[in-house]
């Protein structure tokens, strides 16, 4: 056993201990130790993934046979190492944050359970990525889903959370069902459960492709299978939301990539389907995010958008590869993977900060917040870093991956097929619209939450969260900036050179120029201009009141008007009048309601159909022995007939 | 970093910084003439900046550090953006300076922080401006990207320096499709600099204002820096259009005469363009806010048309 394997085993053992310890010794210190163990394991994984990515050396693990004919094997190549790196980048921040955050749970038992499940969840996600065959993949996939389900249900007493849990459970079961179908059809084709090269014609692989695309798409939150995200994220503890959004969605993307990259001859319509699905998710995700005022729901929708961008990159990869443009294909694929990594960092940062805000103010609605930058300056600074990264401002990391995808689009003039070119122009404009809307979205989120006057008492009385939580947030924040600045160095280290602009130079120049401006203003005699503090101009009103400020929904109003066709707002109003002729207005209410399009036209009809069918089926179950014997008799008769005539 | 690039940094940035306020006054002057007024002096913008620099800065007690750093970040981002658009000569730029996408996102930095500072003081005007700016700029973004993608399609590079090195040799546009892109680029200038019919830079009336609303609470030297950044943005966007449509005169080598000629030609061409912008502004009425996406669609159409022509011919 070489050092490389030892690192992995060390990490796994640390996580197992982290899972078991809080069950054995139930105290605050054990919980602390448990999170320290997950922190420690991520350091080991960081070393492991870095080495594998840098050297390209693939470690070998022995197989464990646990059922006749079924082995569980572990394997790691550069693809899995990339996603292990992602896990190792997110977990340290979440672990340190959780040390303090888990103590806010309602009872001792819940604190312990949350610790145990968080560790188990991390372990399961790691094992899914490490799994060398379908058996291990599916087993740990289920553990991952169930542990996260229990974390979503951790506060099971509220009605809203129960609904969220059931929704998540149904969607994740559906995802697993599709994965099973996909894997079984692959198994029938190859006769082995190993992940290997699939040298088959694309027409044979159509069924597995569609099943796996839908299965992984549900878990990753691709439109129209995205509905569970905005339910599950607000219900789960924020540290778990950070893991779910940061890592779990990426594990689904890993699974999809694992399949896609092993197919030797895919077809062009696969790429087109993935590209269209991705673009649609991206644009609808951000448009739906815009109408939300619940900070965690908003971030959940933003995850849908980012997953869309990642799938866009994967679709581009497939199209470029099949058209023989290897360079552009690699650029898109690495761009998509890098975006997955970046999204893991800034989304976990934003969810952790959201957790701090919810803890400090007791509300998730940003309409009730405001002015937090004065009360929680450190959280505000960290949240600003997250917003800047996700909005794709240079030189932060979110910009770099978007830049790579934009660059791939811009060079697509090398494509031969004119129809593909037209498709790429359309998706490029959708991508551009998406990225601009994200900037607008995070101006709204940061501006309404942190700036101006507090809108309610709970925001006014907020105080800064304790140091461990801030440190936990600081890790992904620092990584966001560093992985942006050193993006070229990091990609070059792992053997990718695309000639993209060097963010380190641009970042340094930006800081330099801003410093130059500052010094210029200071040293040219203008420093002595007096300063004065005076109330914001309010058209003659003496003291400013928070109700004068722009609200979250007010901020979104122009976009809601522009995208009316998508939001389809329903406005209903009631009015009463003081006179009989209805001239003098007395009182009234107006309601703006946004219908839930997918729920209304896709989810509910499907659920309704399933209900009707199960009602019909349940009529066959009357609980009498005679009836069941009769059913068996019919079944035997049918079988006999079938074998006689058809087999 | 080579010596020629270092010189470029100083000359190009210095030149744009110097001439930018001039074009602001020039447009005002043209508009005034059309309206039958005498208009401000051509150097009025410089006097205004000097006056603002000496005035006291008033901060709202509600405002935070965002309000205080925004002016510096704005001007910093725009000064950095000047390196991406060569006006004096075309250097050998390192590290992907000149990349179209980085350029566009430097403009997003300015927009992002200006919008935040609009929300910072808690004034309804500022919020209105931020909300409108971010919404409208989101809708114009596909047009911008497609226009620049069309440039990249025609000229086969994503770097402004390389693009203009290709166009600079010719007196007329390199390809007829470039004149179509120019229409989109012109609309982008109008939108990005907040001019009629999108926004009215001359009024402080809440029905029309977008940009002026956000900087309503800024004062003194901070306002001066923001105004200067705005002027620079206008100049570099004009420079992109000029270098695409009428590239003659731009030096591709570092020579003294080349630089002088480049500067001279740029001043003449940019003055003409500024005059054109002034006339355009005078000849059209402010549009209703929600009519604007239609106006943007026009620009989108022209740039998409360019790409489609490149695709199918």
The model's pLDDT over B89-141, given as tens digits with 9 standing for 90+, comes to 888 877 678 899 999 999 999 999 999 999 998 888 888 899 999 998 998 88
Inter-chain CB proximity A436 and B83 less than 8 Å = no
Any residues with CB less than 8 A from the CB of A513 and at least 6 apart, and which?
A: B76, B77, B79, B80
Smallest Cβ–Cβ distance between A422 and the set B54, B101, B311 belongs to B311
Query: What distance in Å separates residue B305's CA from the closest CA in chain A?
Result: 11
* List of chain A residues whose C-beta atoms are within 8 Å of the C-beta of residue B105: 392-394, 399, 403
Smallest Cβ–Cβ distance between B122 and the set A393, A399, A549 belongs to A549
The model's pLDDT over B146-200, given as tens digits with 9 standing for 90+, comes to 889 888 888 888 999 888 888 877 766 667 778 888 888 998 999 889 888 888 8
Q: How many residues does chain A have?
A: 647
Domain count, chain B: 1
Question: In DSSP terms, which residues pair with B251 in a beta bridge?
Answer: B89
Tokens representing residue B65 in the block: 């550090």
Query: Residue range A462-477: average pLDDT?
Result: 93
Q: Using the 8-state DSSP alphabet, how is residue A524 labeled?
A: I
Q: How confident is the model at residue B300 (pLDDT cuts 50, 70, 90)?
A: confident
Smallest Cβ–Cβ distance between A554 and the set B131, B217, B293 belongs to B131
How many Å apart are CA A317 and CA A326, to the nearest integer?
Answer: 9
Q: Are B265 and B248 a contacting pair, CB within 8 Å?
A: yes
Give the model's pLDDT for residue A237.
93
Give the model's pLDDT for residue A526.
66
Q: Are B241 and B273 a contacting pair, CB within 8 Å?
A: yes
The dihedral through the CA atoms of A3, A5, A8, A9 has a sign that is negative
Inter-chain CB proximity A439 and B312 less than 8 Å = no
Q: How confident is the model at residue B208 (pLDDT cuts 50, 70, 90)?
A: low
* List of chain B residues whose C-beta atoms are within 8 Å of the C-beta of residue A555: 127, 130-131
Inter-chain CB proximity A409 and B77 less than 8 Å = no
Give the model's pLDDT for residue B173.
65
Tokens representing residue A194 in the block: 């190993």
Tokens representing residue A631 in the block: 């059913």
Q: Average pLDDT, whole number, for chain A? A: 90
* Distances in whole angstroms, Cα of residue A316 to Cα of each of A253, A267, A408, A537, B102: 15, 13, 8, 50, 21
The model's pLDDT over B52-77, given as tens digits with 9 standing for 90+, comes to 988 888 998 888 999 999 999 999 99
Q: Does B1 have pLDDT greater than 60?
A: no
Q: What percent of chain A has pLDDT over 90?
A: 64
The model's pLDDT over A178-191, given as tens digits with 9 standing for 90+, comes to 999 999 999 888 88
Angle in degrees, CA A538, A539, A543, rounded to 5? 40
Q: Which residue of B has its CA nearest to A404?
A: B101
Give the model's pLDDT for residue A363.
92
Q: Are A42 and A91 a contacting pair, CB within 8 Å?
A: yes
* List of chain B residues whose C-beta atoms are within 8 Å of the C-beta of residue A530: 56-57
* Domain extent at residue B19: 3-312
Give the model's pLDDT for residue B313.
62
Query: Residue range A479-493: average pLDDT?
Result: 92
Q: How confident is the model at residue A416 (pLDDT cuts 50, 70, 90)?
A: confident
The model's pLDDT over A24-55, given as tens digits with 9 standing for 90+, comes to 988 899 999 999 999 999 999 999 999 999 88
The model's pLDDT over A298-349, given as tens digits with 9 standing for 90+, comes to 999 999 999 999 999 999 999 999 999 999 999 999 999 999 999 999 999 9
Q: Does A473 have pLDDT greater than 70?
A: yes
How many Å apart are CA B204 and CA B185, to the nearest integer?
Answer: 27
The dihedral through the CA atoms of A23, A27, A28, A34 has a sign that is negative
Give the model's pLDDT for residue A412.
86
Any residues with CB less than 8 A from the CB of A548 and at least 6 apart, and which?
A: A538, A541, B122, B123, B124
Q: Are A32 and A112 a contacting pair, CB within 8 Å?
A: no
Give the model's pLDDT for residue A182.
94
Burial (CB count within 10 angstroms: exposed 0-12, middle 13-18, buried 19+), residue A191? exposed
Q: What percent of chain B has pLDDT over 90?
A: 45
Query: Which has the minimum average pLDDT: A90-94, A259-263, A594-598?
Result: A594-598
Smallest Cβ–Cβ distance between B138 and the set A418, A436, A549 belongs to A436
Query: Residue range B278-301: average pLDDT?
Result: 86
The model's pLDDT over A538-583, given as tens digits with 9 standing for 90+, comes to 777 767 788 888 899 889 988 988 888 888 888 888 888 888 888 8
Q: Are B11 and B259 a contacting pair, CB within 8 Å?
A: yes
Query: What distance in Å separates residue A535's CA from the closest CA in chain B?
Result: 5
Q: Which of B214, B263, B234 is nearest to B115 (CA)?
A: B214
Give the model's pLDDT for residue A495.
85
3-state secondary structure of A61: coil
Inter-chain CB proximity A425 and B53 less than 8 Å = no
Query: What distance in Å separates residue A112's CA from the closest CA in chain B?
Result: 40
Query: What distance in Å separates residue A345's CA from the closest CA in chain B?
Result: 21
Query: Which has the minimum average pLDDT: A407-411, B18-22, B164-168?
Result: B164-168
Inter-chain CB proximity B95 and A537 less than 8 Å = no
Give the model's pLDDT for residue B164.
87
Give the model's pLDDT for residue B172.
64
Query: Which has the minimum average pLDDT: A538-547, B215-224, B266-275?
Result: A538-547
Q: Does B269 have pLDDT greater than 80?
A: yes
Inter-chain CB proximity B123 and A526 less than 8 Å = no
Inter-chain CB proximity A535 and B60 less than 8 Å = yes
Residue with more model confidence, A18 or A527 = A18
Q: How confident is the model at residue A647 (pLDDT cuts 50, 70, 90)?
A: low
Residue indicated by tokens 């085993």: A9
Q: Which of A218, A290, A280 is nearest to A249 (CA)?
A: A218
Give the model's pLDDT for residue B111.
93
Query: Residue range A122-140: average pLDDT?
Result: 92
How many Å apart are CA A321 and CA A336, to the nearest integer?
Answer: 14
Residue with more model confidence, A547 or A258 = A258
Inter-chain CB proximity A433 and B108 less than 8 Å = no
Query: What distance in Å separates residue A382's CA from the closest CA in chain B?
Result: 14
């Amino acid at each position: 056993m070489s050092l490389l394997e030892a690192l992995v085993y060390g990490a796994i053992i640390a996580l197992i201990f982290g899972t078991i310890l809080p069950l054995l010794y139930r105290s605050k210190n054990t919980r602390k130790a448990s999170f320290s163990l997950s922190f420690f394991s991520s350091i080991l994984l960081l070393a492991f993934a870095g080495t594998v990515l840098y050297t390209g050396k693939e470690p070998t693990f022995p197989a464990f046979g646990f059922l006749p004919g079924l082995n569980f094997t572990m394997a790691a190549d550069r693809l899995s190492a990339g996603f292990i790196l992602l896990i190792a980048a997110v977990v340290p921040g979440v672990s340190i944050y959780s040390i303090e955050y888990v103590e806010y749970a309602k009872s001792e038992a819940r604190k312990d359970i949350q610790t145990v499940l968080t560790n188990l969840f991390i372990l399961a996600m790691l094992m899914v990525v490490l799994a060398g065959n379908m058996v291990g993949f599916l087993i740990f996939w289920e553990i991952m889903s169930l542990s996260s389900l229990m974390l979503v249900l951790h506060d099971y007493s509220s009605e809203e959370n129960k609904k969220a849990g059931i929704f998540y459970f149904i969607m994740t079961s559906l995802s697993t069902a599709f994965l099973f179908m996909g894997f079984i059809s692959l198994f029938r084709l190859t006769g082995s459960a190993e992940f290997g090269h699939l040298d088959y014609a694309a027409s044979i692989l159509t069924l597995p492709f569609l099943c796996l695309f839908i299965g992984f798409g549900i878990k990753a939150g691709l439109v129209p299978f995205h509905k569970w995200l905005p339910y599950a994220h607000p219900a789960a503890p924020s540290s778990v939301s950070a893991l779910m959004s940061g890592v779990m969605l990426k594990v689904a993307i890993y699974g999809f990539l694992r399949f896609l990259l092993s197919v030797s001859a895919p077809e062009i319509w696969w790429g087109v389907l993935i590209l269209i699905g991705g673009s649609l998710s991206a644009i609808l995700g951000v448009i739906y995010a815009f109408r939300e005022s619940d900070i965690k729901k908003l971030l959940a929708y933003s995850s849908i958008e980012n997953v869309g961008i990642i799938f866009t990159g994967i679709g581009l990869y497939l199209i470029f590869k099949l058209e023989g443009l290897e360079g552009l294909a690699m650029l898109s694929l690495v761009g998509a993977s890098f975006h997955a990594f970046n999204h893991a960092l800034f989304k976990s940062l934003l969810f952790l900060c959201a957790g701090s805000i919810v803890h400090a103010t007791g509300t998730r609605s940003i309409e009730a917040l405001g002015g937090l930058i004065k009360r929680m300056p450190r959280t505000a600074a960290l949240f600003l870093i997250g917003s800047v990264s996700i909005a794709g401002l240079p030189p932060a990391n979110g910009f770099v991956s978007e830049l790579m995808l934009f660059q791939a689009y811009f060079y697509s003039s090398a494509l031969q097929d004119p129809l593909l070119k037209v498709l790429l122009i359309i998706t490029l404009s959708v991508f551009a619209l998406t990225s601009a809307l994200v900037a607008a979205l995070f101006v709204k989120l940061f501006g309404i939450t942190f700036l101006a006057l507090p809108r309610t008492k709970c925001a006014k009385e907020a105080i800064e969260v304790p140091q461990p939580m801030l440190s936990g947030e600081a890790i992904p924040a620092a990584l966001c900036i560093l992985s942006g600045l050193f993006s070229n160095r990091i990609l070059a280290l792992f053997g990718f050179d695309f000639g993209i602009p060097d963010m380190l130079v641009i970042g340094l120049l930006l800081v330099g120029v801003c410093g130059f401006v500052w010094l210029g203003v200071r040293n040219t005699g203008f420093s002595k201009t007096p300063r004065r503090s005076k109330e914001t101009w309010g058209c003659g009103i003496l003291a400013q009141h928070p109700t004068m400020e722009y609200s979250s929904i007010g901020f979104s109003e122009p976009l809601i008007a522009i995208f009316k066709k998508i939001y389809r707002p329903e406005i209903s109003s009631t009015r009463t009048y003081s006179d009989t002729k209805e001239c003098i207005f007395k009182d009234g209410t107006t309601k703006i309601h946004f219908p839930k399009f997918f729920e209304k036209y896709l989810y509910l009809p499907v659920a309704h159909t399933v209900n009707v069918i199960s009602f019909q089926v349940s009529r066959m179950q009357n609980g009498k022995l005679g009836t069941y014997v009769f059913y068996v008799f019919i079944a035997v008769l049918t079988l006999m007939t079938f074998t006689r005539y058809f087999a | 970093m080579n010596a020629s690039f270092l010189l470029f940094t100083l000359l190009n940035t210095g030149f744009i910084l110097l001439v930018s306020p001039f074009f602001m006054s020039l447009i005002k002057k043209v508009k005034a003439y059309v309206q039958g007024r005498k208009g401000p002096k051509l150097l009025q913008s410089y006097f205004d900046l000097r006056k603002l620099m000496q005035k006291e800065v008033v901060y709202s007690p509600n405002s935070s550090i965002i309000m205080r750093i925004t002016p510096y970040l704005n001007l910093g981002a725009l000064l950095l953006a000047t390196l991406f658009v060569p006006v004096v000569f075309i250097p050998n730029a390192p590290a992907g300076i000149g990349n179209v996408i980085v350029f566009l996102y430097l403009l997003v930095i300015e927009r992002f922080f200006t919008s935040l500072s609009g929300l910072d003081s808690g004034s309804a005007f500022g919020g209105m401006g931020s909300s409108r700016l971010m919404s409208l700029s989101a809708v114009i973004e596909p047009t911008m990207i497609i226009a620049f993608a069309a440039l990249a399609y025609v000229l086969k590079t994503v770097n402004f320096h390389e693009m203009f090195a290709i166009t600079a040799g010719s007196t007329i546009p390199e390809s007829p499709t470039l004149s179509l892109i120019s229409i989109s680029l012109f609309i982008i200038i109008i939108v990005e600099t907040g001019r009629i019919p999108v926004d009215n830079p001359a009024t402080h009336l809440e029905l029309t204002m977008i940009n002026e609303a956000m900087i309503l609470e800024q004062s003194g030297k901070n306002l001066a820096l923001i105004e200067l950044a705005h002027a620079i943005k206008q100049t570099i966007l004009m420079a992109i259009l000029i270098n695409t449509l009428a590239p003659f005169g731009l030096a591709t080598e570092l020579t003294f005469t080349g630089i002088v000629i480049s500067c001279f030609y740029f001043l003449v061409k940019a003055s003409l363009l500024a005059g054109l912008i002034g006339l355009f502004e005078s000849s059209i009425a402010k549009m209703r806010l929600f009519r604007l996406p239609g106006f943007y669609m026009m620009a989108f159409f022209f740039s998409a048309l360019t790409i489609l022509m490149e695709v199918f011919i």
